[in-house]
Structure formats: C-alpha cells, structure tokens
Structure 1
Amino acid sequence: MHTFIALFKKETMEFNRTYKFLIVISVFMIFAIMSPLTAKFMPEILSQFLPKEVADSFPAPSALDSWAQFFKNFSQIGLFVVTLLFAGTIIHERSEGTLIILLTKGLRRSTVVLVKTIFSMLVWTVMYWAAFGVTYFYTWYYWKDENVAHLGFAVGNLWLFGLLLIAVILFGNVLFKSIYGNLLLTALFVGVWFIVSIFPKAEDFNLLRLATDGNNILKGLYDADDFNWIYVISIGLIVVLQVLTIRIFNKKSLI
C-alpha cells in the first residue's frame, strides 16, 4: 500500500510539473462556462450580422441548447485533450528510463499499470464532474424554470465512454514505443465504432453512442434499457483491456 501511495504521489507531482493539471483544468472550465453562455448569447450575437427576418426565425435559447453545447464540447475536444494528456503516460517513462530504476528496486509492473489507470481515470472523473457542476449552475441561473429530464443518465454515459477511452489509451501505452502509434490506435478504436454506427442493426452494441447520444437522451428518445448491452460491453472491455495491459507490460522490454 505504501508503494501504491508513493507512486500515486509521483504521478500527481509529474502531472503538475508538466502543467497538465493546468491544461485540463483550464480547458474543461472554459468549456463548462462557455456551453451555457454560447447557448444563451449566440443567437443574439448572430442577429447583429444577419437579416432581421433570419434572426427572428431563431428559436429562443433553452437549457437543452446549453447541454447540447456541453456534449458537443466534451465528446469532441474534451476527450481529445484527455487522449493527448495520457497518450504518453507510460511511453515517456519507458523512453526516459525512469521505470527501469523503479522496477529494479522491486516495484511490480502490475502496480505501475494499476496506479496509472486509477490516476488517469480519477483525473478524468474529477475534472469532468467539476465541469458538469459549473455548467449545471450557469444553466440553472439562465433557465431556472426549465427542467431537463434524464440529465444524469446522459452525462453518465459520456463519463463512461471517457473511462473506456482511457483504458484504450493505456493499452496503447504498452503496445507502442511511440505516442503517434498510440494516437493512431485510439483513432482507429473510435473510427471502428463510427463504421459500426452505419449499420442500424448494430445500434444496440455501438459503444460510440455513449458519447454521441446525449442530446437524444435529453429529448426522451432513449432510456437506460436501450443501453444495456452497451454498458455490459463497455465495462467488460475496460476490464479485459486492463488485464491485457498488465500481461503485455509484464512481458515487454523496457529498452
């Protein structure tokens, strides 16, 4: 346990020293604030540059518009930032020789993977839900009388997809010596599910829906039962990827 805590502190210090904490906090908070502000004031801003007839045709902004911006920002740029932040979390230490020093002192490779997994997922979880809280406050402030149904369900799905993406990223960290290889693997993973989305019969198994169906959930088009198999596959895949990451890392040369 002492080793686990010490390694976790090391991850925190490294994340802070390389300004990654500053990056993720800045990006997530900007998106959290901008989501409701964009929904509230963008029609008014556009009306200054468009003909009055066109401007008058815009529907009045609503809380749903605010959350639409939230899902758009975090399912695209937010997850992209997370990918960049953790794409080299193990690769860098392998290339710099840091892990060799730690492992020769008796540190188990499985502990390294577990700590990095927990740390990465914890950063995503804390930052994501903090951003959700900020967006929730501003959305409530501007649209106090509007109640958005199924909100927790929708944002929870995107959070789960973030955990899955991190599991893929860490798996790529032990497969490749280059960050570019890891980024390619992550892009390929997302691309496969984009292809799957083309086929309507595969809808019940398309993991990408966790990140893309937030607005449809808020509109009442889906409920939790529509995601049963997606939850099973996602959680199962996270566990399988974690096991594979440890096993491959145990056999991987660090040189």
Structure 2
Amino acid sequence: MRQLRAMMKKELFEQLKTHRLVVMLLLFTLVGVLSPAFAKMTPWLLDLVSGDMAETGIQIGNLEVTSLSSWTQYYKNMQIILFVFLILYGGILTSEYQHGTLIILLSKGLKRHNILLPKYFALLLIWTFGCLISFGITFAYTVYFWDNSIIQNLAFSLLAFYLLGVWMISVLVGASVFCRSVSAVLLVCAACFGISYFAGFFPAVSDYVPTLLLGQMDLLTGTTDCSHFLPAIVITVLLTVFNVAAAVLCFRKTSI
C-alpha cells in the first residue's frame, strides 16, 4: 500500500511537471465557460451573418436559445475533450518503455501492479476532477442565464458520460501494456470505441454497448428513461474492471 501511495504521488507530480495536468484542467475549465457562452452568443452570431445569407436567398429564422442549448454544446465539447485526453495521455506507459525507466523501478523492488495501477488511478483522478470542474462551471452559468428546471436527468447524464470516459481510460492503460508506441495505443482505443459504436446499430446488442452512454440528449429531454441505460452502465463497469485486471495480470508476465 505504501508503494501504491508513493507511486500515485510520483504520477501526479510528473503530470504537473510536464504541464499535462495544467493543460487538461485548463481545457476542462474552458469547456465549462465556453459551452454556455457559445449558446448565449449563437443568436448574435446568426444576426451578424443573416444579412449576407439573405443576399444568397437563405433566410435565417429566429433561434430560441434555452438551457438545453447550453448542455447540448457542453456534451459536444466534452466528446472532443475525451479524445484530447486520450491523445495527451497515450504515452503514459509507452514513454517508460522507450526511456527504460521501468527497469530502474523494478530493480528498486517495486511490484509491477504498483507501477501500473497508479497510472490508471492518476488518470482516473484527473478525469474525475476535470469532469466536476467543467460540469460545475457550465451548471452555474446555465442557471444564471436560463431556466435550468426544464432539463431532466442532469446528474445521470453526467454519470453516463463520465463512465464512458472511465472505460476508455481502462482501454488506454490496457493497450499500453502491449503496445510500445503512442500511435498503436491510440489505434487500439479508436478500434474499441469504433467497435462499440457500430455494434450499437444492431438491435440485439444496442442496449448493452458502452457508447450508448453518449445519449445525453435523450436523457436531458426526458425522451428516454434512465433505466434504459442501466444495462449499458453495468456492461461498461464490468468491461472497465476486466480491462484493468487483465492489464495488471498481463503486465506481470510482459517482458520489459
């Protein structure tokens, strides 16, 4: 346990030293600020271009901006942030392979799971804190500008998206055990996401794939009940646990 805590501190300090932690927290903050701001400015931006569009025969009608517009923009931005997160941390273990630092750590008596698990927990902590920051800022601005009471299942929609990110982080860590380059790790992440996404087109499995958790708009509008997402949440949690457990077991047997 002492090794685990020490390595967690090392991982977080390393993320701070390389400025990745600062960059990610700034991006999460920007999402929180810009999502409601962009929704608020949309009618103004449309007014600016409406004159030019009218000359080409395109008429722009009045656009009603509500709190749903803000949350729609928020989740669109968060999908981008998730991919940026994976790209930024794709080398969390491959860099150790390339620089030979794993051999040094193992020679000091560190157990392999105390090397791998802190990396996953550090990413999980950053993802959790970042989601809370961005969500809190967006919530505060949305309540200030609009009537947020029309939004349904708001907390559950965040939980669904958060768990999707947790699953993708577990895929990234698992892929890092086998892959020696960032591009290979990201390719595995993209493949897993793509398989889940396209499997969602098949009715037999569409209710169980992790990417079903991208259906925030159905939750926010009340079109779909929360219970519809529960099977996908259970599968996502089980896949996450499996990925982390398999990564630890395989890392113990992987040659470095």
Same-fold call, TM > 0.5?
yes
Tell me, in whole angstroms, the C-alpha distance in 2 between the residues paired with 1:40 and 1:88.
Answer: 37
Residue in structure 2 matching 1:165, options 153, 168, 184:
168
Which residue of 1 is the match for residue 67 of structure 2?
Answer: 63
Tell me, in whole angstroms, the C-alpha distance in 1 between the residues paired with 2:38 and 2:101.
Answer: 44
- What displacement does 1:58 show? 3.1
Structure 1 residues 61-70 or 144-153, which shifts more?
144-153
Show the 5 A alignment for 1:1-255: 1-51=1-51, 54-55=59-60, 57-75=61-79, 77-144=80-147, 146-210=149-213, 212-254=214-256
Structure 1 residues 179-188 or 222-231, which shifts more?
222-231
| CA contact 2:66–2:147 (8 Å) conserved in 1 | no
- What displacement does 1:150 show? 0.6
- What displacement does 1:146 show? 4.0
- What displacement does 1:60 show? 1.2
* Identical columns (%): 31
Tell me, in whole angstroms, the C-alpha distance in 1 between the residues paired with 2:171 and 2:62.
Answer: 41
Tell me, in whole angstroms, the C-alpha distance in 2 between the residues paired with 1:110 and 1:4.
Answer: 9
- What displacement does 1:59 show? 2.7
Tell me, in whole angstroms, the C-alpha distance in 2 between the residues paired with 1:50 and 1:171.
Answer: 50
Tell me, in whole angstroms, the C-alpha distance in 1 between the residues paired with 2:156 and 2:25.
Answer: 24
Deviations for 1:103-135, whole angstroms, at most 9, x for unmatched residues? 111100011121111111111000111110000
| CA contact 1:193–1:207 (8 Å) conserved in 2 | yes
| CA contact 2:200–2:207 (8 Å) conserved in 1 | no
| CA contact 1:86–1:170 (8 Å) conserved in 2 | no
Number of aligned residues: 251
Tell me, in whole angstroms, the C-alpha distance in 1 between the residues paired with 2:87 and 2:15.
Answer: 13
- What displacement does 1:201 show? 3.6
Deviations for 1:187-244, whole angstroms, at most 9, x for unmatched residues? 101111221122234321121011x200111111112210121112111101111111
Tell me, in whole angstroms, the C-alpha distance in 2 between the residues paired with 1:58 and 1:186.
Answer: 41
Give the counterpart letter for 2:11 in structure 1.
Answer: E
| Root mean square deviation, CA, Å | 1.5
Tell me, in whole angstroms, the C-alpha distance in 2 between the residues paired with 1:25 and 1:184.
Answer: 25
Tell me, in whole angstroms, the C-alpha distance in 2 between the residues paired with 1:114 and 1:90.
Answer: 11
Tell me, in whole angstroms, the C-alpha distance in 2 between the residues paired with 1:189 and 1:207.
Answer: 10
| CA contact 1:128–1:159 (8 Å) conserved in 2 | yes
Change (3 A) 1:145 1:229: closer
Q: Which runs of 5+ in 1 are unaligned?
A: none
TM-score by length of 1: 0.94
- What displacement does 1:145 show? 6.1
